[in-house]
Amino acid sequence: MKILVTGGAGFIGSAFVRMLARETDWHIVNFDALTYAGNLENLAGIAESDRYRFVRGDICDQELVTSLFASERPDAIVHFAAESHVDRSILSPEPVVRTNVNGTFTLLEAARRSAIARFVHVSTDEVYGSLESPLEATEEFPLNPSSPYSAAKAGSDLLARSYFITFKLPVLITRASNNYGPYQFPEKLIPLMIANAIDHKPLPVYGDGMQVRDWLYVDDHCRGIRSVLEHGREGQIYNIGGNRSLPNLEVVRRILELTGRGRDLISYVTDRPGHDRRYALSSEKLMNETGWRPEVDFETGLARTIEWYRSNASWVDRVRSGEYRTYYELNYGARAEAMS
């Protein structure tokens, strides 16, 4: 079995590659452009393996993608590569539409000219948009995205599905809730708050902090994707949720407790435009069809994640140097000023 993983140097993709290297004898080709979010340090332990190959490249590069499919002849593709952050998609939508929509299109086109047996498209619960309590999205829910990020993901989901319906490409789509865990770039809520708390820096809470997200430990997500890859039905969509909904403020308070910091570090800042109030989804279909379950409860996962960030301060320092500072100033500078 040879598997092509796109975005395998990012947070979830690298966890997936590490899992496959640990648990299978498959050959893995990791295709990644190494944007600000891609980091080969995440794969240091397996770089030398003769079952692993890294190819640096852009999923929008039609020539390169076509030649990669021709030379590697993968049996399956798991497509993670994306611009994955909502705030960046608000500050600068162009690369988000380019990578998430055009990049996915380029991969689908190359795949339909190959003999690929599985195309797993990794998507998000954000395509369902904000849901009133107690609703939980099933896979049949209408798509109602709010941000350029989630709209571009929804666009790529629809394209992927159209390739199954029209060209019989064996596409499967996964839609996961918010992930957390080691190696997550400190722009998303949990790693940003942990890194700031460790450094005694303010924790910027958007709006009233009562927005709700469902938290999924990254390794549970990766096991879910593997279940879909191996046991899912072609053309189907599978939700993957953590079954743990919490308001942001509660998450932030727990991080402060576990890092031994006081609540005085909480800083309420201007809300995100178009901020989705609540995401929630049902993973019944995946559970019923494959027996998958989330295994890491939030308390264990959060403690493990904080421990990882404490023990990997140099990783955090390196990813927070350079471009991160410009982004931080752009996203948070104006917010804090507006509140003061």
Residue 219 interaction partner, one of ligand NAD, ligand TYD, none, beta carbon < 5-8 Å per kind = none
Contact between 197 and ligand NAD per CB under 6 A: no
* Listed residue (303, 283, 305, 302) closest to 294, CA to CA: 283
Token pair recorded at residue 286: 């995946």
Using CB under 6 A as the binding rule, whether residue 153 contacts ligand NAD is answered as yes
Residue 214 lies near ligand NAD (rule: CB under 6 A) = no
Under the criterion CB under 6 A, does residue 86 sit at the interface with ligand NAD? no
Shortest approach of ligand NAD to residue 174 CB, angstroms?
A: 8
Stretch of 44-52, 153-161, 187-195, 306-314 contacting ligand TYD, by CB under 6 A = 187-195
178 binds ligand NAD (CB under 6 A): yes
CB of 313 to ligand NAD, least distance (A): 19
Neighbours of 44 (CB within 10 A): 10
The enclosing H or E element of 152 equals: helix 148-167
- Among positions 3, 82, 110, 203, the unique one binding ligand NAD when judged by CB under 6 A: 82
**Interaction of residue 178 with ligand TYD, rule CB under 6 A:** yes
Chosen residue from 74, 103, 191, 204 binding ligand NAD by CB under 6 A: 103
Under the binding rule (CB under 6 A), the answer on residue 276 touching ligand NAD is no
Place of tokens 């509140």: 339
**Residue 131 structure tokens:** 């849901």
**Helix H or strand E segment including 161:** helix 148-167
- CB of 17 vs ligand TYD, minimal distance in Å: 22
- Which residue numbers are catalytic? 125-126, 149
Residues 282-321 that bind ligand NAD (CB under 6 A): none
For residues 145 and 279, the answer to whether their CB atoms sit within 8 Å is no
Q: Does 148 bind ligand NAD (CB under 6 A)?
A: no
Judged by CB under 6 A, does residue 192 bind ligand TYD?
A: yes
Q: Does 16 bind ligand NAD (CB under 6 A)?
A: no
Cβ atoms of 269 and 204 closer than 8 Å: yes
CA angle 133, 296, 78 (to 5 degrees): 85
Smallest distance from the beta carbon of 262 to ligand NAD, in angstroms?
28
Note whether 261 and 200 are within 8 A (CB). Answer: yes
Residue 254's alpha-carbon distances to 37, 69, 80, 186, in angstroms, are 26, 45, 29, 17
Residue type, 243: N
Compute the CA torsion angle 17, 19, 23, 29 (nearest 10 deg). 0
82 binds, among ligand NAD, ligand TYD, none (CB under 5 to 8 A by kind): ligand NAD
Determine, following the binding rule CB under 6 A, whether residue 123 of this chain makes contact with ligand TYD.
Answer: no
Q: Is 265 in the site for ligand NAD (CB under 6 A)?
A: no
Distances (CA, A) of 35 to 10, 50, 126, 185: 9, 25, 22, 12
Nearer to ligand TYD, 159 or 280 (CB): 280
Q: Is 86 in the site for ligand TYD (CB under 6 A)?
A: yes
Q: Using the rule CB under 6 A, is 185 a contact of ligand NAD?
A: yes
In a 10 Å sphere around its CB, with 0-12 CB exposed, 13-18 middle and 19+ buried, how is residue 178 labelled? buried
Cβ distance 212 to 278 under 8 Å? yes
Written as six digits, the tokens of 9 are 């140097």
Q: Which is nearer to ligand NAD, 9 or 265 (CB)?
A: 9
Q: Which residues bind ligand TYD (CB under 6 A)?
A: 86, 126, 178, 188-189, 192, 204-206, 211, 213, 248, 272
